[in-house]
Structure 1
Amino acid sequence: MIIKKSEFIISAVKPSQYPVDNKLEVAFVGRSNAGKSSLINALTNRKKLAKISSTPGKTRLINFFLINDEFYFVDLPGYGFAKVSKKEKEKWGHMIEMYLVDRPQLKKIVLLVDSRHKPTNEDVYMYEWIKYYGYEAIIVATKSDKLKKSEFQKSKKVIKDVLNIKDEDKFIFFSSVKKDGKEELINLLLEDI
């Protein structure tokens, strides 16, 4: 499938603000600097659909983007890196958990990890959480344009080992700059939706 149309619908902090049309949803989670907004923009061929900032932690709300008038991409606040208060981080954590636990429209969760670094404890926690609740996990190793060809296998092994990725889970390298992995990722996202 080709993404022909994408539009921002709403930023939400609580369930009463979520879209009510029962369209299926694919959520994107990851550290504050993992590149969620850049990835969404690359997938939709829109430079400014999702707001990008050089300051990690810019996404502080749950953002819903309607894709092809058929389903939603949901950009969740990043975790781990943002320079915000502990109270603010707890608020984000509660908001994210409330969405992930109580959203029947949510069908897939894309976990973004930086391909250049070993996943953090928070990445491991998020992956375990995704599996615990029975979601299909798609692991996307971002910023792959910054890796040398000789580093790909090592990066993949480290990420798979640290997260303890299961065989049924999907793993893909992605570059928002070069669009490497774009077609494969879109196919994975739209499979069964």
Structure 2
Amino acid sequence: MDTRYITSAAKPEQLPDFDLPELAFIGRSNTGKSSLLNALLGRRSLARHGRTPGQTQMINFFSVNDKVVLADLPGYGYNVARRDVAKHWQPMVDTYVRRPNITAFLCLHDCRRNFQELDERLMFMLGRQLPIILVLTKTDKATRNEIRKQKEKLKKRMDELGIDYQVIIETSATKNQGIAELKALVLDPHLQVEDENS
């Protein structure tokens, strides 16, 4: 894939306009989002890691083959405890998610963790616009049985809450697991990916 950094936005009025399909990556500050994006984009440091969780509060945009735009949203969770950061994070994200050219919300979640209220509220909000794609990260840090049981628990919880989701993809940036499935989505945002791990 031909990938490149386009621009960043720190304020709602800085959000760029694109005529291309856009896929949004969103997750907690400690889900390994930057590592996963770098594995997906085939670049070691295109998406940068923050030294402090929740430190980066910009939305970063990347081009793939000049046909699709990936948006890396600032991590959430850690910043909720800091009101000075959260008051900038919320308006930015609220404005961003209404963009009409977004074709998919990829919600990243550590496979070892249960949903917290903030995760559930965010996924429910996004799922009302488009069926979300739940991306389980760090699968190399859990056994197959642990992942299977956790998936069942998370699916049950999403069904209880009425969160509309398209698929659950298991990934590991370290082991390169699930990257092919994500690349298929990026190269064809309208592709319906089968959940082989159901």
Partner residue, 1:32? 29
Say whether 1:113 aligns with 2:109.
yes
Alignment of 1:163 onto 2:161: no
What's the counterpart of residue 8 of structure 1?
Answer: 5
Q: Match for 1:150: what amino acid?
A: N
CA 19–163 in structure 1, closer or farther in 2 if over 3 Å, else same = same
Task: Return 67-76 or 5-14, whichever deviates more.
Answer: 5-14
Show the 5 A alignment for 1:84-99: 85-99=82-96
| Shift, 1:179, TM fit | 0.7
2:124 paired with 1:124 = no
User: What's 1:143 paired with?
Assistant: 138
- Give the Cα–Cα distance (whole angstroms) in 2 for the partners of residues 191 and 76 of structure 1: 18
Give me the identity figure in percent: 36
1:63-74 superposed matches below 5 A: 63-74=60-71
Instruction: After superposition, give the CA deviation of every residue in 1:129-162 in whole Å (9 maximum; x if it has no partner).
Output: 0122x21310001000101122121110122223
- CA-based RMSD of the aligned residues comes to 1.9
Give TM-score scaled by structure 2 length.
Answer: 0.87
CA shift in 2, pair 1:170/1:120, >3 Å: same
Aligned with 1:169: secondary structure? strand
- Once the 2 structures are TM-superposed, how far is the Cα of residue 163 of structure 1 from its aligned partner? 2.9
Determine helix, strand or coil for the equivalent of 1:78: coil
Deviation, 1:13, is: 2.6
CA distance in 1, matches of 2:49, 2:69: 19
In structure 2, how many angstroms separate the alpha carbons of the residues matched to 1:75 and 1:99? Answer: 11
Gaps of 5+ in 2: 192-198
57, 75, 78: which one aligns with 2:72: 75
Q: How many residues align?
A: 188
TM-score normalised by structure 1 residue count: 0.89
Choose which of 177, 182, 185 in structure 1 pairs with 2:179.
182
The ranges of structure 1 where at least 4 consecutive aligned residues each deviate by more than 3 angstroms after the TM superposition are 165-168
Give the deviation of 1:92 after TM superposition: 0.2
